[in-house]
Amino acid sequence: MSSSIQLPPIESVFNLNDFEKIAAKVLPEQVYAYYSSSADDEVSYRENHNSFHKIFFKPKILVDVTNIDLTTEILDSQVDIPFYVSATALCGLGNPKGGELDIVKGCADVNVPHMISTFSSFSIEEIAEAKINENQIQWLQLYVNSDRKITHDLIVKAERLGMKALFVTVDAPSAGNRERDARFKFSAAENNGPKVMEKSKDKDATTNGTSRTLSKLIDTSLTWADIETFKKLTNMPIVLKGVQRVDDAIRAAEIGCRGVVLSNHGGRELDFSRPPLEVLAELMPVLRDRGLNKNFDVLIDGGIRRGTDILKALCLGAKGVGIAAPFLYANSLYGSEGVELCTQLLIKELVLSMRLLGVTKLSDLNADFLDLSGLFARAITIPRTTVYHDSLA
Ligand SMILES: Cc1cc2nc3c(=O)[nH]c(=O)nc-3n(C[C@H](O)[C@H](O)[C@H](O)COP(=O)(O)O)c2cc1C
């Protein structure tokens, strides 16, 4: 799976969107199709990002903004930045040699927390060993297997390897209908399926699309009762990833989860699921009202590409934000150097935007800095034809 188009020098990347633009040209077609595909007509995918464009700032003036502090705390870990690398399966498709290991390397300098996918190309032992600093923050993202022993063993192993939190993905009982991806056959045996698959009965599966193969390893019968079981198995804080409703977030807090990620899986699951930013705006006042916002971190992901996107989420009450696709493209194109650049670009944008907003530290951010009047407006722009995907154009 190779592409004949030459990789431009890393200096040609000015922002996170540039990584995807280059990836679309340079990555093998099948890899880009899996990485970029989202559900059905990709409306949620687009709205995730568009939702950030519906919020405007109300900057304060005449504040001394010489020193900007980006430090905060996420899930009891001190961090120098309010974002993390969210889980992405099969980083080895785009970066066969380095895969997830290059993400670990690229996260070392700033200690960007890294959420490791259950469906990583490398084993979690290899990923844990790749740490450059002992204090690097790693979390495990969990897809629950129908053979619960496999899942329980993985949880115990992750804790032993020093992972600091367990993110149980709850928005993906089956892979969404991702048609860009489905147009390519995926053979787990030929294409380096995920490491966890080696012992699976589906290890030689060939399906229409990478997502379908991975979906075979996810149990459709996961319920709240399983979360109770996981709590008994581990001391790692448990976070539900993929919460999309206020009442589910409240329930997670009430049963003792340490947090939630408001997410629709980057628009890859149920099309027309709401942008997580809207859910965040609804949720935080309710959590505060009920006194449930202490020891309960609300994180958010989906469509976050700019420092200003991050600031908007933090103003609304998020503790931190997850970013997936841009780091995946950066790693696929430029390895750990790309991951470092992705981080540095976000830091640069955050520092500048905080100065221009008139704040010096993250704890100063609040909804008073935002004009939210357009947030809930619906204006879905869908092409008039039934042809939605570039691959059909
Ligand atoms: C190629 C790809 C693979 C993904 N794999 C996983 C995964 O293995 N587990 C998971 O919980 N989420 C997975 N996600 C979802 C991300 O963790 C995250 O929720 C979402 O992509 C965030 O949106 P963003 O890509 O716009 O930043 C994946 C996303 C992409 C793009």
Q: Is the CB of 275 under 6 A from ligand 1?
A: no
For the cut 70, the answer to whether the pLDDT of residue 385 exceeds it is no
**Candidates 83, 84, 88: which one to mutate for ligand 1, based on the most atoms within 8 Å of Cβ?**
88
Options 49, 53, 265, 389, the catalytic residue: 265
pLDDT band at 206 (very low <50, low <70, confident <90, very high): confident
**Ligand 1 contact, 139 CB (< 6 A):** no
Distance 289 CA to ligand 1 centre (A): 31
Which of 265, 280, 321 for a ligand 1 pocket mutation test, highest count of atoms within 8 Å of Cβ? Answer: 265
Q: How far apart are CA 164 and CA 166, in angstroms?
A: 7
| Cα(294) to centroid(ligand 1), Å | 27
CA of 383 relative to ligand 1 center, distance in Å: 25
The helix/strand/coil state of 217 is coil
Tens-digit pLDDT profile for residues 97-146: 999 999 999 999 999 999 999 999 999 999 999 999 999 999 999 999 98
Helical pair 246-254 and 276-289, crossing angle rounded to 10 deg: 50
For the CA of 86, the nearest atom of ligand 1: 17
pLDDT in tens, 278-298: 999 999 999 999 999 999 999
Return the domain boundaries, the chain. 15-369
Q: Is 169 in the pocket of ligand 1 (CB under 6 A)?
A: yes
β-pairing, 320-323 vs 56-57, is: unpaired
Query: Tokens standing for 292?
Result: 């449930």
Amino acid at 248: D
Q: Could you read off the pLDDT of 250-261 as tens digits, one per residue?
A: 999 999 999 999
Residue 88 CB–ligand 1 contact under 6 Å? yes
Q: Residue 212: its pLDDT value, please?
A: 73
What per-residue confidence (pLDDT) applies to 378? 84
- 34 annotated as ligand-binding: yes
* Lowest-confidence pick of 42-51, 73-82, 275-284, 372-381: 372-381
The percent of residues in the chain predicted with pLDDT above 70, rounded, is 91
Contact 357, 60 (CB under 8 A): yes
Q: Could you give the CA distance from residue 78 to residue 392 in angstroms, rounded to a whole number?
A: 46
- Distance between CA atoms of residues 46 and 355, nearest Å: 29
The answer on pLDDT for 41 being more than 90 is: yes
Q: How far is the CA of 115 from the centre of ligand 1 (A)?
A: 10
Is 188 strand, coil or helix?
coil
Alpha helices by DSSP H, listed for the chain, are: 16-26, 29-36, 43-53, 99-108, 124-129, 148-160, 179-182, 210-215, 224-233, 246-254, 276-289, 307-315, 325-357
CATH code given to domain 15-369? 3.20.20.70
Model confidence at 187, pLDDT cuts 50, 70, 90, reads confident
Average pLDDT over residues 244-249: 98
Let me know how long the chain is.
Answer: 393
Instruction: Confirm or deny that 263 is annotated as ligand binding.
Output: yes
Cα 282 to ligand 1 centroid, rounded to whole Å: 23
Q: Which residue has the tokens 């696929």?
A: 332
In short, whether 87's Cβ falls inside 6 Å of ligand 1 is: yes
Residue 393 is predicted with a pLDDT of 45
Tell me which DSSP letter residue 196 carries.
G
Annotation-wise, does 241 bind a ligand?
yes
Q: How confident is the model at residue 1 (pLDDT cuts 50, 70, 90)?
A: very low
CA distances in angstroms from 135 to 88, 128, 366, listed in the order given: 22, 11, 30
Q: What band does 216 get if pLDDT is binned at 50, 70 and 90?
A: confident
Is residue 49 flagged as an active site residue? no
Report how far residue 49's alpha carbon sits from residue 45's, in angstroms, rounded to the nearest whole number.
7
Pocket flag, ligand 1, residue 120 (CB < 6 Å): no
Ligand 1 centroid vs 25 CA: distance in angstroms?
21
Output 377 or 205, whichever has higher pLDDT: 377
Report the pLDDT value the prediction gives residue 390, as an integer from 0 to 100: 57
Angle formed by the axes of helices 276-289 and 43-53, to 10°?
A: 60
Write the pLDDT tens digit of every residue in 293-321.
999 999 999 999 999 999 999 999 999 99
Average pLDDT value over all residues in the chain: 92
Residue 263 alpha carbon, nearest atom of ligand 1: 19
**What average pLDDT score do residues 211-238 get?**
90
- Alpha-carbon gap, residue 181 to 89, rounded angstroms: 14
- Atom index in ligand 1 nearest the CA of residue 90 equals 3
- What confidence tier does 4 reach under pLDDT thresholds 50, 70, 90? low
pLDDT(82) > 90:
yes
**How confident is residue 15, by pLDDT bands cut at 50, 70 and 90?**
very high
Annotated ligand binding at 338? The verdict is no
- Please check if 87 is assigned to a binding site: yes
The reported pLDDT for the residue numbered 21 is 96
pLDDT at 384: 55
